[in-house]
Every structure is written in structure tokens, then in C-alpha cells.
Chains A and B, each alone.
Chain A
Amino acid sequence: MKVLTYNIHGWRPADPAGALPLAALAEIIGDAQADLVGLNEVFHPQPAEGGAVLALLAGRLGMNLAFGPTLSAAESPTGIPYGNALLSRWPIVAFAAHHLAAGTDGERRGLFETRVLLPDRRTFTLYVTHLDHRSEAIRLAQWQAAQSWLIRDRERPHLVVGDFNALAAHDYPDEPAVARLQERRAALGWPPPAFDLVAQIQKAGYRDAFALAGEGATFPAHAPEIRIDYIFLPSVWADARVRCRRWDHPLAAAASDHLPMFAEFT
């Protein structure tokens, strides 16, 4: 099974003056030959020539699509429903858009639960999420809410993918690495780094596919420094063989502010 997770930055290319990057996204995602693609920051139906962009993208890729809004048309800044989405090579049999708490005055986030029918007639659940970008405390509260859904799948193979907006302590294995991160954040005027969320996710039995087999930061796309997009495997999948890497593609730096993350499980 090949899985891609990609924050597509609301269909906005890295260059604000650029055109809607439908062709580039189709090529980036298509070249990965992924079976399941989790997308964050999706406006749908975003009108374009010939239909809604997400539907056009799915059409070009020959994949099925499902959309899980976190903001309705009335709540969305552009008047178009906004949230997470799934592209799947396999039939999508059911899906549900869970809401995650926003914290005070924040933006509501989501956990998009999707179930696909595998060729062997078993079903498989992929969760696509995008957590708060401002505060580790809010992300922890959102993870807690997400857990009340995920816990029911703890005995079943599933994956949790998306933009967690969080740093992993294992990406900064020694003190100089942590010191460099702290300096960099201080220079940007950002709060000191927190590693609690990924630690909590691991405590819940999930393993970071990338930590098992991978390399490469994902954000920002033009000169990636940090890795905040993850593919998490549940403990029940302990025997899976994993390959995981940042999906580098010549078009990726221009198509979004994030790079996609790719993993293959056997």
C-alpha cells in the first residue's frame, strides 16, 4: 500500500501571483502512484474551468474522492467549504468528517475518517487530519478529541496522516540540534519548540513511519527546514515493512507551501 499526505495550501501556489496549480498537483501526486492520498487545506467545490478543482484532480488521476469539511460555506473565509480530502485508487465506501476543538477564537479543525474497500474485499480506514498551527496546547486537546474516535480502531489496521503542525523530538537527536532549532525559532520570533504532541501520539501506540525509515523536512516547500507532516502507523501494524520519504518532485516547490510525504507499507 502506497500512501501520500499533502497539504496543498488551499489550491494556492507558492507564488501568490501564480495560476491554480492543478496540472502540477496532478503530476506530483500521479508520479507517486499512491493508492491513498490525504489532502489538507482543501476548498471544495473550488470552481475552475470544467468543474470543481478537486473533482478535476481526481479525474486526471483516475481516483475516487471524498471531502470532509471542517468549515461550511458560511464559515469559510472564501465562501467555499474547507477541510480535508481523500483521493483513493480503491472504492471509498464510507466517510465521516469529525470536528476537533478550535480553542478560543481559533479555527475549527477536523479528523476525516475514510474507509476504503481493498481489492481483497477487506476494508481499511485512513484518517486525514490537520491540527492547529499556533499552539501545542490546542493541538494536544485536538489529539485528545481525535483519540476518542481512533481508540475504536485500535485493534484494526489503519493509518493516521496529515499536517500535525508539530515537531518530533526524534528529529532533533542531540543538544546542538535542539539549540539550533531554538535559535532559529527565536530569530523568527516564534515560541520555543514543543515536542509533547508527537510524544503523546507515540504514547498512544502510534509509530512515525518516517522515524522508522525516512529522511527529509517538508516545510516550507521552497527550502524545507522542519517536518510537520506525518504518517502514523498503529501498534497493531507492528509487523509492517515501511519505506517512507519526503516526496521530492521538481514541481513541488511551486505547487504548495508544503512538500508531500510518501510511505509504502508491505
Chain B
Amino acid sequence: MTYNIHRWAGQDQRVDLDRLAEIIRAARADIIGLNEVLHPVTYCGRTCDYLGELSARLHMASIFGPSGWADYGPDWYGPQGNALLSRYPFAEAKNVLLPRIPTTKQRALLGARLTAGPAAGLTAFVTHLDHAFEGTRLFQLRGALAAMAQHGPHFIAGDFNTPGFAGQHTRRLSPPVLRWMRQAGYEDAFHAMGEGAGRTFPARAPLFRVDFLFFPKAWAAGVRRARALDAWPVKRASDHRPVIVEWAWPA
């Protein structure tokens, strides 16, 4: 699953870890890439380990990969970045800072290899590319692709912030980020096996598909299903909806 959790804040401005845990549990996700994670977050003077609490509720392992410091006012700040949650243990975690263009925020790529369970040997990556500008995203993506190149079986999940078009006139067009991913040998799991429109943003009435999960072509044959969740809690739990992909080792 890939899920941008909007700095822990729901559309109702509430932090509701039960709601997030329920969404992940109901989807029966085994590995989750999270974006916009503040960890630890200082909220109204209190410093909280929401990531630890969420993973404890789900009985999952978690790792955090900071990309910088985020300050959303005196009541909401802390290191911000990506996180991975998993039902199975991780090893070899690494957090790569992506190339940065002046005046843009530092972004990062977090990866770790699963050491047990049905997907043992698979490495999970999660990233969150620039929100504003495709050229900046390409610049960052170059670094992410270099860090993942020559890696064994892996996937990359995250908020790529590039729209996967679905309109009548645009369906066959790929934005540059998606063209680069394809040229680098990756397959968009939703493009391969997606159900529905797959739109993830904004959560309440989504217009764009900006959250993706990619597998290198050789392992993409293992993708069985892909969809954006649309059960009612996802409309309020974040400003994005999560995408869930079912995958098994290809025969």
C-alpha cells in the first residue's frame, strides 16, 4: 500500500490513529509506504511518537527516513519524511537524500529489504517527489533511479505528485515522470491491473492519480490487483487516498 497521510492530520484537522490503523487493517496491507510523516511530531508542546503508536496498533515493524524539518506553525513541527510499515521484519534500511534544486525542499528515498514472510528478499522503496514542478521531480527521480538501479527484486511506492491522466483526450499521454519510469524499465501496477479510475487526490472527491506503485518489468508480472481505496474513512483520514496493490512472486 502507498499512502500520503498528510502530516497525521485528517481533513477534519484531527489526528486519529485508530482511523488510519483501521484503513490499513481493512485493506489487509502487509507493507505500507507512508508519505508526509512527521516523526517525532511536536504537537501543542507535546512530543509524540505517532509512528511508533500506529505500528504498535498494527503489530508491524516501522522505519522512518527523514528528508528535512517541517514547521507548520508553533503547534505542529518535527522531522518530516517517508516511512515504511511492515508485517514482516526489515533489514538493510537506507535513506537516500535526492538531488535538490535551489529553493526547493529536500526530498528523500527510503528503502529496506524484507527478511521473512512470503515476500522475503523483496526490497520496498518509498518516496515523495516535489509537489510543484515536473522538472524538479525529474531531477529528484534521476537520483532515486540511480539509487535503485541494479537492485534485486524491489518496488517503489509513493506520492509522485505527477498526474496519471484519465481524461478522454489525455488517457494516452504520459507525464514526463511516468515516461521516465517506463524508460527505466518500471511498470505502473495500476496501469497494469488497475480497477476503477484510481484517483487519489484530493481525497474527498479525487481528480488526480498521483500516488503510484511501480515494479521493475521482470517482477511486474506478479501484480494481481491494484486499486485506490474508496471506503468512507479515506475521505477524511488524509488529503490523499491510499492505493493498494496485490503482488506475489511471478511464476
Q: Which residues of A contact B (CB under 8 A)?
A: 93-101, 103, 113-115, 117, 121-123, 125, 141-142, 144-145, 148-149, 152-153, 156
Are the CB atoms of B169 and A141 closer together than 8 Å? yes
Residue among B165, B169, B172, B173 with most chain A CB within 10 A: B169
Are the CB atoms of A115 and B173 closer together than 8 Å? no
Are the CB atoms of A123 and B102 closer together than 8 Å? yes
Q: Identify which of B20-28, B88-96, B120-128, B129-137 touches chain A.
A: B129-137
Given contacts A94-B101, A98-B176, A123-B102, contact A115 B170 (CB under 8 A): no
B144 to chain A, nearest CB (A): 15
Are the CB atoms of A144 and B169 closer together than 8 Å? yes
Whole-angstrom CA separation of A153 from B170 in the bound complex: 20
Task: List residues of chain B with CB within 8 A of the CB of A145.
Answer: 165, 167, 169-170, 173
Task: List residues of chain A with CB within 8 A of the CB of B170.
Answer: 101, 145, 148
Task: List residues of chain B with CB within 8 A of the CB of A114.
Answer: 135
Are the CB atoms of B101 and A115 closer together than 8 Å? yes
Interface residue? B139 (CB, 8 A): yes
12 chain-A/chain-B pairs, Cβ below 8 angstroms: A94-B101, A94-B138, A101-B170, A103-B169, A141-B169, A144-B169, A145-B165, A145-B167, A145-B170, A148-B208, A152-B133, A156-B132
Known A122-B103, A123-B101; further 9 A-B contacts with Cβ < 8 A: A94-B133, A95-B135, A100-B173, A115-B135, A117-B102, A121-B102, A123-B103, A152-B132, A156-B132
Task: List residues of chain B with CB within 8 A of the CB of A101.
Answer: 169-170, 172-173
Interface residue? B47 (CB, 8 A): no
In chain A, what residue has the closest Cβ to B180? A96
Task: List residues of chain B with CB within 8 A of the CB of A95.
Answer: 135, 138
Task: List residues of chain B with CB within 8 A of the CB of A125.
Answer: 133
Whole-angstrom CA separation of A101 from B208 in the bound complex: 17
- Chain B residues 154 to 169 lying within 8 A of chain A, measured CB to CB, are 163, 165, 167, 169
In chain B, what residue has the closest Cβ to A68? B176
Interface residue? B175 (CB, 8 A): yes
Are the CB atoms of A94 and B136 closer together than 8 Å? yes
Task: List residues of chain A with CB within 8 A of the CB of B104.
Answer: 123
B6 to chain A, nearest CB (A): 17
5 pairs of A and B residues whose beta carbons are closest in the complex? A94-B135, A96-B134, A101-B169, A141-B169, A96-B176
In chain B, what residue has the closest Cβ to A100? B173
Task: List residues of chain B with CB within 8 A of the CB of A94.
Answer: 101, 133, 135-136, 138-139
A6 to chain B, nearest CB (A): 22
Given contacts A113-B133, A121-B103, contact A99 B169 (CB under 8 A): no
B43 to chain A, nearest CB (A): 27
Whole-angstrom CA separation of A156 from B131 in the bound complex: 13
Are the CB atoms of B135 and A96 closer together than 8 Å? yes
Task: List residues of chain A with CB within 8 A of the CB of B177.
Answer: 96
Given contacts A117-B102, A123-B101, A144-B169, contact A96 B137 (CB under 8 A): yes
| Cross-interface CB contact of B134 among A113, A117, A144, cutoff 8 Å | A113
Given contacts A93-B101, A94-B139, contact A149 B173 (CB under 8 A): no
Task: List residues of chain A with CB within 8 A of the CB of B132.
Answer: 152-153, 156
Are the CB atoms of B138 and A96 closer together than 8 Å? yes
Whole-angstrom CA separation of A103 from B103 in the bound complex: 37
Whole-angstrom CA separation of A156 from B103 in the bound complex: 13
B181 to chain A, nearest CB (A): 13
Whole-angstrom CA separation of A145 from B133 in the bound complex: 15
Mask: chain B, 226-248; 1 = CB below 8 Å from A; 0 = not: 00000000000000000000000
A237 to chain B, nearest CB (A): 17
Whole-angstrom CA separation of A117 from B177 in the bound complex: 22
B33 to chain A, nearest CB (A): 23
